[in-house]
Amino acid sequence: MRPTTQLRASQASDKLTVALLTIGSRGLRTPCSDVAVRNYWVSELQPERRQAARWCVEWECPVLQPCLEAAQLNDERHGVWGGRDMTRRPGRPRTDAA
């Protein structure tokens, strides 16, 4: 990563962290923090990740946009971030589920 890209990625991660701390201080949670379903966001099974991506939107995740921005700038390669499945499989094109 180039220094400018690294800085933008770091800033996006910091923005996500602040957003998470802010909602936590208000007693709110993200859908991915629900212990009953949190494994869906990092599941090896595409249908579960697809469901997690839908929940991000349907449950109106309060950090949806900063989560997606941080994932994109940090080149996340596994799991659901900001309502999109970022998982990349060798030899297969990445698909974004929303």
- Whole-prediction pTM: 0.85
Q: Is there a domain that residue 34 lies in?
A: yes
The confidence score (pLDDT) of residue 93 equals 60
pLDDT band at residue 92, thresholds of 50, 70 and 90? low
Domain containing residue 72: 3-85
Q: Is there a domain that residue 92 lies in?
A: no
Q: Is there a domain that residue 20 lies in?
A: yes
Helix (H), strand (E), coil (C) string for the chain: CCHHHHHHHHHHHHHHHHHHHHHHHCCCCCHHHCCCCHHHHHCCCHHHHHHHHHHHHHCCCCCHHHHHHHHHHCCCCCCEECCEECCCCCCCCCCCCC
The confidence score (pLDDT) of residue 2 equals 76
Q: Is there a domain that residue 96 lies in?
A: no
Number of domains the chain contains: 1
pLDDT digits (tens, 9 = 90+) for 24-77: 999 999 999 999 999 999 999 999 999 999 999 999 999 999 999 999 999 999
pLDDT digits (tens, 9 = 90+) for 39-54: 999 999 999 999 999 9
Q: Is there a domain that residue 51 lies in?
A: yes
Q: Is there a domain that residue 95 lies in?
A: no
